[in-house]
Amino acid sequence: MANLIDGKAIASKIRGEITAEIAALKTKGITPGLAVVLVGEDAASKVYVSMKEKACQDVGIFSDEHKLSADTTEAELLDLIDKLNCDLRIHGILVQLPLPKQINTERVLEAISPHKDVDGFHPYNVGRLVIGKPVFQPCTPYGVMVMLKETGIDLNGKEVVVVGRSNIVGKPVALMCLAQHATVTICHSRTKDLAAKVGNADVVIAAVGVPEMIKGNWIKPGAVVIDVGVNRVGEKKLVGDVEFGPAAERASAITPVPGGVGPMTITMLLQNTVESARRTCR
């Protein structure tokens, strides 16, 4: 039976360290500030945004909330971003995704100053990651890497299979694993014989957004399984992208859903915001 990788516990430990770092910054007259922008009424986004605001309060980050209606135009959102780019109280800007259809997500992400891009989605920060000199790294993949490190899992020479090729998780986590000297395979909807690819992995990172798509009996005995999926099934139940029970019987270590990668995402957002504030006093 696999060891459970407790994302909640790791996140809580790191948040303690972040709280201490912020207290030290405040003695130098710097209070890290994060602008959180939500456009529209998406139920999951509302939950994530309120979790982010609460996390900011807990660690001592000034959180500047902007809740805009679902019919906000792209020009209005770009105007707000311009103002936040120039606001000296703000070290990080976060626009919650997904955005409503009338707004071009790429244009919005590119409008955020790369120096305040604590989500790590701006092409400048993506490019820094590609060349192995990251500044701000996307929070979910960054959280995955911190979890692996905290659990003592070394990727050097390992076969890592990433299932999913999104800009937010799949592609960046693959680059981060490569930087840790893993041999990385990215699988996606057109991949042939996914079961065999997953079965070859020492470490599986599942980020497809399809409930329990990765079957437990595909997992190589002793492999590590990181499940990035947070899928709502029915009214209340959350499941990952991996069939947890059968996978846990074969894996050496596995993340649960909820309580695995999810809590790390917001923790790394706090970390990036503190890093951005620290950079202002260099």
The verdict on whether 79 is a catalytic residue reads no
How many CB atoms sit inside 10 A of residue 157's CB? 10
Residue 219: what residue type?
I
When the beta carbons of 94 and 225 are compared against ligand LMY7XDAE, the nearer one is 94
Site residues (CB under 6 A) for ligand LMY7XDAE? 47-48, 51, 94-97, 119, 139-140, 230, 238, 257-259, 262-263, 265-266
Q: What's the rounded Cα separation, in Å, for the pair 77 and 73?
A: 6
CB of 15 to ligand LMY7XDAE, least distance (A): 13
Q: Is 116 a catalytic residue?
A: no
Residue 193 a catalytic site member:
no
| Catalytic pick among 96, 137, 227, 241 | 96
Q: Please identify, using beta-carbon distances, which residue of 203 and 264 lies nearer to ligand LMY7XDAE.
A: 264
* 164 annotated ligand binder: yes
* 190 has binding-site annotation: no
Residue 41, C-beta contacts closer than 8 angstroms, at least 6 positions apart: 70
Shortest separation between residue 10's beta carbon and ligand LMY7XDAE, angstroms: 12
Which entry of 6, 64, 117, 119 is annotated as an active-site residue?
119
Establish whether 250 is an annotated binding residue. no
Question: In sequence order, which ranges of 138-260 are alpha helices (DSSP H)?
Answer: 139-150, 170-179, 194-199, 244-250
Per the annotation, does 165 bind a ligand? yes
- CB-nearer residue toward ligand LMY7XDAE: 123 or 258: 258
> How many beta carbons lie within 10 A of that of residue 40, not counting itself?
18
C-beta of 32 vs 263, nearer to ligand LMY7XDAE: 263
What is the rounded end-to-end Cα distance, in angstroms, of the chain? 48
| Consecutive H or E run containing 78 | helix 74-86
CA distances from 173 to 166, 206, 269 (A): 10, 10, 16
Closest CA to 138 of 122, 149, 116: 122
Smallest gap, in angstroms, from Cβ of residue 233 to ligand LMY7XDAE? 12
Residues with a catalytic annotation lie at 52, 96, 119
Known binding residues for NADP(+) are: 164-166, 230
